[in-house]
Amino acid sequence: MTTKSAVFAAGLVQQQSYLFANLPSGINPGTRSFISDGATVTFRGAAVGGGTDFSPVFFDGGIWRYG
């Protein structure tokens, strides 16, 4: 049996943001983060750096994607 956990927060939550090149590796699919240098933002498209957009991203098990 797999145990899942959840964290709930009320109010504002501030999360660390990364440059795309500095996103952590070796993480679980579904992990979410933010990048501060997003470029060519397309929902569920492959995330890339080098721009100026502050963008939410998630890891799909292979690559980071916008979303």
Give the pLDDT confidence score for residue 1 in this predicted structure.
58
> How confident is the model over 20-63, as pLDDT tens digits?
999 998 899 999 999 999 998 899 999 999 999 999 999 999 99
Is residue 61 within 8 A of residue 29, CB to CB? The reply is yes
Classify residue 41 by burial, with Cβ atoms within 10 Å: 0-12, 13-18, 19+.
Answer: middle
User: Which of 43, 42, 53 is closest to 19 using CA atoms?
Assistant: 53
Give the pLDDT confidence score for residue 64 in this predicted structure.
96
The CA distance from 19 to 41, in Å, is: 14
For range 4-29, the mean pLDDT: 88
